[in-house]
Amino acid sequence: MSEPVLTARNVSIEYEVDPPVKAVRDVSLTLNRGEILGLAGESGCGKTTLAYGMNRLLKAPALMTAGEIVFHDRDGHDIDIVGLDGEGLRAFRWDKISMVFQGAMNSLNPVISVKAQIFDIFDTHRPGMSKKAKTARAEELLTLVGVDPNRLTSFPHELSGGMRQRMMIAMALAVDPQVMIMDEPTTALDVVVQRGIIREIMRLREKLGFAVIFITHDLPMLIEISDRIAIMLQGQIVEEGTAEEIYRAPQHEYTKRLLSSFPSLKGERGDFVRTGVSQEGVR
C-alpha cells in the first residue's frame, strides 16, 4: 500500500481583487512517498497557485480560503502546514518541502555567488555546520546534478540556462527534503537541455527517494516520467489516474483535447503541416 507524504484536502484559493478570482476550487490531492505526481493543465488553470499554496508561498492578494494541507513526516508525525507560524514555517521549508521555481535566473540572486546562496540554506537549516562541511556538501550537491564543483564561485549570469536550473535543483536538495515541487523547471530551455534536466531529476529521485510534484502543460512528457497524473482545468482537478490510464483511456473531454493537441509521429500530413497554420488560425 502506498504511503502518503503530502495530503491536500478541499483546498480553495482566491485572489482578492475586484471581482474576486477563484483560482483553485475545492482541490484534493495525495502525494505518495517517493512517487512523481504530474500536474498538467493550460496556463492560468491554477497549477502554480496550488503549488504555492501547498508550500505556503502565497502572497497578497492571493489567499487560501478553505481546506487543509498535511505533511506526513518520515518519523511518523503529521504537520499541519496551514497552521505553521512564521518561525515554524521558515524551519519547515526546504527541510521538508523544497521548490524549484520556473525561470532559474529570476530565482537566483544575480549579485551573490552560487556558493554564498547555498551556504544561506545551511546557515538557516543547519546552523551548526562548519565552513568545511558546508563546502564539502555544496561540492557534493553540484556533482550530484552534473555540474563542475569549481562553478561554486560563479555568479548566475556566468552560467548557461541549463546550468542555472541544475543549480536550483542542487539548492532544493541541499538539506535532503522529502518532497520537491517543480514548477515547469524546463521552460525556456532548448529541447536537448530539457531532456538532460528530466533525466537528472529521474536519476536523483531513484537515488535519493524524494517525492516530486511536477507541474507543466506538457502532458506527453508527464506521461513519460510520472507515476500518476492530475489534470487541472479552471481551478479544479477534472481527472486523476496513473500515467498509463491517462494515456490509454482518458475519461474527461479536456484530457482528450490535451492529448490530441500534440502532433502524432504517425498518420497523414494535415493542413497544419502543409501550410504552417491551421484553418482556425486563418480566421
pLDDT, one tens digit per residue, over 226-239 is 999 999 999 999 99
Q: Which segments of the chain have a pLDDT < 70?
A: 1, 104-105, 188, 263-283
Q: Note the pLDDT of residue 268.
A: 62
The four Cα atoms 198, 204, 207, 210 give a dihedral, to 10 degrees, of -110
DSSP string for residues in 157-224 = GGS-HHHHHHHHHHHHTTT--SEEEEESTTTTS-HHHHHHHHHHHHHHHHHH--EEEEEES-HHHHHH
Q: Which residues contact 140 (CB under 8 A, 6 or more apart)?
A: none
Picking from 162, 168, 190, 195, the residue whose alpha carbon sits closest to that of residue 180 is 168
For residue 273, the model assigns a pLDDT of 39
Residue where the block lists cell 564543483: 149
DSSP summary character for residue 274: H
Domains of the chain and CATH, by start: 4-102+178-267 (3.40.50.300)
User: What's the rounded Cα separation, in Å, for the pair 159 and 228?
Assistant: 33
Q: What pLDDT does 107 receive?
A: 80
> What is this structure's pTM?
0.88
Instruction: Match 505556503 to its residue by C-alpha cell.
Output: 56
Cell of residue 39, nine digits: 500536474
